[in-house]
Structure 1
């Protein structure tokens, strides 16, 4: 029987963090140290089958700028389910927990979806961003055209003009 558990990064022991990193390394061929770092510092939703971790997702806080406002965003990272456990609703169960956190604690939810994941998020009510994407870098605002087709938002507490510009805060590695 599977169980979804949530916990903040600070409450996870080293073994659980190693298991989560190993799972994501197996799910994503191109998982980097930066990608792992991006998944830390927030709330993790994890699917356990007994003592075995088979799914992971997390939501961390970021700042997004839209319409002249800095928004407190719950940004989803590291969503993955072990290949032999996919199709059992585990991804949806983890996202339901993260969406609950986003709706209770943030002004907006956001994530960057893979081509494979885009339909999954859209079916859950996440909106594809239609406007330009950019990042607030150490040298100023820089367009991130590669993100224009992969960013999704979950509206929560502020009106969003999806045809407008969306700017994310700076971080090492992939900014979106």
Structure 2
């Protein structure tokens, strides 16, 4: 008989512990070619959905709070960061487990959002996420700055009544703003 799959556990950053945080960071480095210190910083300070098997982190997703500006409305956004599965375990349902856990927190926000890699768009679309069609920008130190390189890669879940063709702006942060 097959062993039951390990559940995804949701924990705030402050309670993860140094050893688990180090394993999550190692997972990010294994899963992505270009995961830097700014990317890591973006994933901290919120909630983490983590799957641990045999004492090792094999899947992770973070949910942090951000602000999005759409049509004059400032939206409380649950922003999904650092979604990764051990490369040897991709396609085994681990990504679905961690995403289900962060998506369960959608009622706490006006909208959930994330920036998807081209490789992951089908995964998010199958889960009900929708690509933002309008132009994107960031509310930076010098005012609103267009981010055309991010257009088409921003996905949202929820957000009743949002015009997905409207311009969308995110709050400023170092590194990748989306």
TM-score normalised to the size of structure 1? 0.97
SS at match of 1:172: coil
| Equivalent position to 1:163, from 165, 170, 174 | 165
CA distance in 1, matches of 2:133, 2:30: 32
Aligned to 2:79: 75
CA distance in 2, matches of 1:83, 1:145: 30
CA distance in 1, matches of 2:64, 2:128: 19
Task: State the 1:3 CA deviation.
Answer: 2.5
CA distance in 1, matches of 2:54, 2:12: 20
Aligned to 1:173: 175
Matched, 1:122 2:154: no
TM-score normalised to the size of structure 2? 0.96
**How far does the alpha carbon of each residue in 1:78-97 deviate from its partner, in whole angstroms, 9 at most, with x for none?**
00000111111110110000
User: Which ranges in structure 2 are unaligned for 5 or more consecutive residues?
Assistant: none
SS at match of 1:11: helix
Aligned to 2:17: 13
Task: State the 1:155 CA deviation.
Answer: 1.5
Q: Give the 4+ runs in structure 1 shifted more than 4 A.
A: none
Task: State whether residues 2 and 50 of structure 1, in contact with CA within 8 Å, keep that contact through their aligned partners in structure 2.
Answer: no
SS at match of 2:161: coil
Task: State whether residues 75 and 109 of structure 1, in contact with CA within 8 Å, keep that contact through their aligned partners in structure 2.
Answer: yes
CA distance in 2, matches of 1:65, 1:155: 15
Task: State the 1:52 CA deviation.
Answer: 1.1
SS at match of 1:26: helix
Task: State the 1:149 CA deviation.
Answer: 1.5
User: Which ranges in structure 1 are unaligned for 5 or more consecutive residues?
Assistant: none
| Equivalent position to 2:59, from 33, 55, 59 | 55
SS at match of 1:153: strand
Aligned to 1:109: 112
Considering only aligned residues, what root-mean-square deviation do their CA atoms show, in Å? 0.8
Q: Aligned residues, how many?
A: 174
Task: State whether residues 49 and 98 of structure 2, in contact with CA within 8 Å, keep that contact through their aligned partners in structure 1.
Answer: yes
Task: State the 1:159 CA deviation.
Answer: 1.4
CA distance in 1, matches of 2:89, 2:126: 20
Aligned to 2:138: 135
Task: State whether residues 72 and 106 of structure 1, in contact with CA within 8 Å, keep that contact through their aligned partners in structure 2.
Answer: yes
